Amino acid sequence: MIVTNLITTLDGKEVMVDFFTAEVTQNRTIHIIGEINDDTASYICSEIRYLSRNSKEPLTLILNSPGGSISAGMAIYDTLNASGCEVTTVVEGMAASMAAFLATCAATKGRRFCQPNAEIMVHQPLGGVQGQASDISIAADHINSTKRKMTKIFADSVNLEESKIKALTDRDTWLSAEDALKMGFVDHVGDPMDD
């Protein structure tokens, strides 16, 4: 990835930073680009904590991600909820799987954006396991418990019945920006910069 640097003032000193750092410190904008994993979550949760300690001004989360780890995504979700900040989400390109969950469920109602050509994909939790039958059964119970929890959070965020969310997430379901708007997964098609 090519990263462009710029000179800016940070904590009263002129410093050279990359654009992503400038976005975080100056615009309170955090990017999730690529897979959501433990490293990504650790970095993003640290950014959220840093920003929310210094101000309760709104945060913006920009997503272009195929998703990833549920536990890593839930760490981001919980940290955003604990921040005390309003959260705007913007889908650029795509938000699939855990990224779709964050784009839809981590945002403050009315502040969920999807760019016109972006897509959202939802599905049920994925997992792989091997081992003895009892271990496989325990893992299946855990995945089903996670599915129930995420279905409830999605249903509350989208204002759809849990049965509708279950049907949508039974298999990969791709939504255009317009379809995501009609179904309540986002509140606006466009970019908050357009306002």
Q: Do the Cβ atoms of 71 and 95 come closer than 8 Å?
A: no
Short-list 77, 79, 111, 103, CA closest to 175? 103
Q: Which of 123, 134, 142, 145 is catalytic?
A: 123
Q: What is the largest CA-CA distance in the chain?
A: 60
Q: Is residue 123 annotated as part of the catalytic site, yes or no?
A: yes
Instruction: Name the CATH superfamily for 5-194.
Output: 2-enoyl-CoA Hydratase; Chain A, domain 1 (3.90.226.10)
* Tens of each residue's pLDDT in the chain, 195 residues: 555 665 667 678 776 655 566 566 667 999 999 999 999 999 999 999 999 998 999 999 999 999 999 999 999 999 999 999 999 999 999 999 999 999 999 999 999 999 999 999 999 998 878 889 999 999 999 999 999 999 999 999 999 999 999 999 999 999 999 999 999 999 999 999 876
Global pTM reads 0.89
- How many angstroms separate the CA atoms of 89 and 104, rounded? 8
Short-list 41, 42, 44, 4, CA closest to 24? 44
- How many angstroms separate the CA atoms of 71 and 58, rounded? 24
Q: Is residue 97 annotated as part of the catalytic site, yes or no?
A: yes
Q: Which of 52, 65, 97, 157 is catalytic?
A: 97
DSSP 193: G
